[in-house]
Structure 1
């Protein structure tokens, strides 16, 4: 994902906490970690349609009652998994130039999507989001979090004068990952390092040309 932030809609932002969104410690934290790892394994093996809470309890060696009480539905478990993925994801890389930062972002997206485990997991959660509103909301929060993590590299480029004032930082970051996800999910074209580098260079060139800049008045 655009890289891989606090998550909008998660605990602490004033929104109601849904199933699986409390961040506990101790035994409860270990139970959550085991269930989420089991959910990852199940999603990778068989996809969202086959995700079953009783099976998750068996895989994680925890009580079915605990799993049903904490998450309630497979979609709620996927939502909590996405929250955990956002919390555990890598911070952005700062290279000192916009092109360098965007290449780092594209490289992380490429690595994530081409890794056999994480690539299969992302396909599964994207499938879940396509058929369940709660899973979709969780996926949207995940991507909003990742974009928010990387957008400051564009803000820093604005401050250095690399791109015009008024450039929409989030749109630049989206422009890096969008062609990579297209290859990953739609076209089947090779998703290689060259494609990642090309996506980063294209987004940087468009940003410098003002393609993502809102209209503004010059002083």
Structure 2
């Protein structure tokens, strides 16, 4: 299978250009071969660098994969501010769909949810990645609460998990097509749950349950 991430290229020498080529080649090899068959030699050949040059910076394939993933996710991802929660969430969901169905996204899935995902370094990178996504999304929820579009006790983390869940389910479990309509459905589900109070923080949920129980007595 051919990948648009990085094709075998002419030698690129050392420095930042070489490092970028190696990282792109690592993701491309992940996509084409999977972690089990990824080799340092294969990455070097695809990147157009000698393997001895590669070994000066990366000691093995695990360090290659971790570094390539960390660099990819270090890229700043702007959060939408459209003035309405529905269009903000649509932008987030569509961005996730586009990211995860492209060549880089498929390579990232291979790394995260294959044998590579069991590496302690990759597991830690995954934890940091999702923590960062939740942190970045918090202002989107805060602005929606200020505009009166969501309940005041809406939990940003639970909201983003709910938004992403239908997309990841199709990508990783059911293998159903992930299309623009998938993002729209995820937004409808998330807004319905949030406005019903189902995505409140843990303490708020407990208070609501206690109040409901008291009312039934």
- Shared fold, TM over 0.5: yes
Q: Deviations over 1:86-122 (max 9, x none)?
A: 223531221111111111111111112333x134313
TM-score, L = length of structure 1 = 0.78
* 1:86–1:142 Cα contact (<8 Å) kept: yes
Aligned pairs, number = 190
In 2, distance between residues paired with 1:188 and 1:163? 32
The aligned residue for residue 32 of structure 1 is: 19
Q: If the length of structure 2 is used for normalisation, what is the TM-score? A: 0.78
Q: Within 2, Cα distance between the matches of 1:37 and 1:189?
A: 28
1:150 paired to 2:137? yes
Q: 1:130 maps to what in 2? A: 117
Structure 1 counterpart of 2:70, from 57, 73, 83: 83
Q: Does residue 1:169 correspond to 2:191, yes or no?
A: no
Q: Does 1:72 align with 2:59?
A: yes
Match of 1:199 among 183, 186, 203: 186
**Gapped regions of structure 2 (runs ≥ 5):** 1-13, 208-217
Equivalent residue for 1:58, pick from 45, 65, 68: 45
**Structure 1 gap segments, 5+ residues each:** 1-26
Q: Pick from 6, 24, 44: which aligns with 2:31?
A: 44
Residues 35, 116 of structure 2: 8 Å contact kept: no
Query: Does residue 110 of the first structure (1) align with residue 80 of the second (2)?
Result: no
